[in-house]
Structure 1
Amino acid sequence: MRRKYKSWEEQYSSDSRYEEAAKRVKRIKGFYTHLMIYLLVNLFIVFLNFRDLKVGESYFQFKNFFTAICWGIGLLAHGLRVFGYDFFFGGDWEARKIKEFMEKEKNEKWE
């Protein structure tokens, strides 16, 4: 007996919107995996640093935060690539800025 309905993947696999959405979901999943590994590894490093701390020595030294800072910069770049720059500027920021510059130029021309 033949099926009437196609599965979700069969129905939308040829659709480019589905492919783009699937790629985006994969990138987001990759970012969250990266974030989870970052947190776990850095917590382990904090544990090791506390364990090896000498009596009277302060934990707040640059060497104890070097990995977290450098890797954090990479994680931030990964997040910006995945979620886009709209995260900081908003979805219509570019359009507003272009309109602002055009209005400014128009006003300067006619004055």
Structure 2
Amino acid sequence: MPRCTAAPVDISDKDARVLQALERRHNAPQGLVKRAQIILLAARGVGVRATAERLGLGRATVQRWRRRWSSAAATESALERLVDAPRPGTPPTFSPEQICSILALACEPPKRDGQE
């Protein structure tokens, strides 16, 4: 029975440098770091199963990010390709202008009876 192999992932030298820098940053969000590691390992020819085991992730997660990286437009930066998709949910209740108005009102001293 033939063995399934993952499609190779090609990255430019510039993208590799950006991903390696992200991987080394101590204050980077861990989700982005894991995604960068997935792509770097894929570029080195490491398979899906080995990548998942090494990073402690599920194979579906590794496959998803390899696929997203490969299908993303080459004009996008490396970081743009690693950003998570927007989550569904309720739209914001207040507009930014309303929030600013509420904060400004909350920061004003209280008015006393008969004084303005």
Normalised by the shorter chain, which TM-score bucket?
A: under 0.3
What TM-score comes out, normalization by structure 1 length? 0.27
Greater Rg, structure 1 or structure 2?
1
Q: Which has the higher contact order (CA 8 A, sep 6+)?
A: 1
Structure 1 or 2: more helix by fraction: 1
